[in-house]
Structure 1
Amino acid sequence: MMRHLVMFRRLPDVPAQPELEAELVERMRLLPQRIDFIRGWHVAANELDRPICWDYLLDSSFDDAESVARYLPHPAHQALVQDLKQYFEWVAVDYTA
């Protein structure tokens, strides 16, 4: 099993837009409906206001590294990435569980 973790936060030079942010997060939550080989998917919002914290976490799982490699260029994922990058920055960690 390969885990794919991503943390998101609003870009520092982008003003907060709560409606847009909510729409982007909802699209993240619904992505497994468009990619059938995702095995696990959880999007959570940060609950504590600390400078070290990012805004959201995506905790996902795939069968193996090859599945992650298929997911990254998937058209549904790439369409979302194009919109996310206008509002969020992110970091990721991929590891075998």
Structure 2
Amino acid sequence: MIRHIVLFKFKDGVSPEDPRVPVAESLARRVGDEVPDLRYWYAGRNFSDRPVAYDFVVIGLVEDEAALDRYMTHPFHQDAIAVWREISDWVIADVVERDATVVAHELAARR
């Protein structure tokens, strides 16, 4: 399993009140419903105002690198990226889960 984490930081001049922000956030939340390869999906706004804080996060879980590639190229995901590109910069991390059994139990508990 691969955990995909993306942290978004609004570009200079973009605030949460910008009308593009709720559109981007809504699209980010819908990615989990639209992309079948995602086993888990979370999207949310950061409430911290610390200078090093990012503004929004998405966290996904996919089965393997092939599923990660399908997620990355999925048309809905690409549409969401286009909106985020206008208003933010981001950093990502793709990490291999250490214990797939623990992940499987977490997923089962959510169902």
Higher relative contact order (CA 8 A, sep 6+): 1
Unaligned runs of 5+ in 2: 98-111
Q: Between the two proteins, what is the percent identity of the paired residues?
A: 24
TM-score, normalised by the number of residues in structure 1: 0.91
Secondary structure in 1 matching 2:20: helix
Counterpart amino acid of residue 23 in structure 1: V
Bigger Rg, which one: 2
TM-score, normalised by the number of residues in structure 2: 0.80
Cα offsets for 1:28-85 (capped at 9, x unmatched):
0011221112100001211211001000111110011111111111111111111110
Which has the larger share of strand?
A: 1
RMSD (Å) for aligned C-alpha atoms: 1.3
Q: CA deviation at 1:7?
A: 0.1
Q: Which runs of 4+ in 1 moved over 4 A?
A: none
Task: Give the number of aligned pairs.
Answer: 96
The residue that corresponds to 2:37 in the other structure is: 37
Unaligned runs of 5+ in 1: none
Which has the larger share of helix?
A: 2
The residue that corresponds to 1:88 in the other structure is: 88
